[in-house]
Amino acid sequence: MHEVYTGSFEISNNGLVTPVSDEQVCPPARVCVDQAEFICAAGNGFARYQELVDLGVGMASCLPDCWPRASAVCRLAARYLEQQQALPAALAQPVYIRDNVADKPSAK
């Protein structure tokens, strides 16, 4: 779809990652950052799209080969549970950034 996921997060004093901007899916040319010299970027879009390659050059760090791992999510969850009350399973809901992931071709 030639779009990338983008969002800004920071590591708080308690070690948890918290969002500092809205998450979105957009064309690579619409990704913008403030104070790039303080940002660590990650994701294969920084190797795939020239607009992001150029953007990544001015950042503190750019990791185009960084992929999410379940072990990282587990570590974040464990740290969260040490410092916060657990969320009841019935309230845990996925967040869908893109409303339309794929459409089935219509029958003709």
Listed by start position, the domains of the chain span 4-85
pLDDT per residue as tens digits for the range 26-82 = 999 999 888 888 889 999 999 999 999 988 888 999 999 988 888 888 888 888 888
Q: How far apart are the first and last CA of the chain?
A: 23
pTM comes to 0.70
25, containing H or E segment: strand 24-26
Work out the pLDDT band at 100, boundaries 50, 70, 90. Answer: low
pLDDT digits (tens, 9 = 90+) for 29-45: 999 888 888 889 999 99
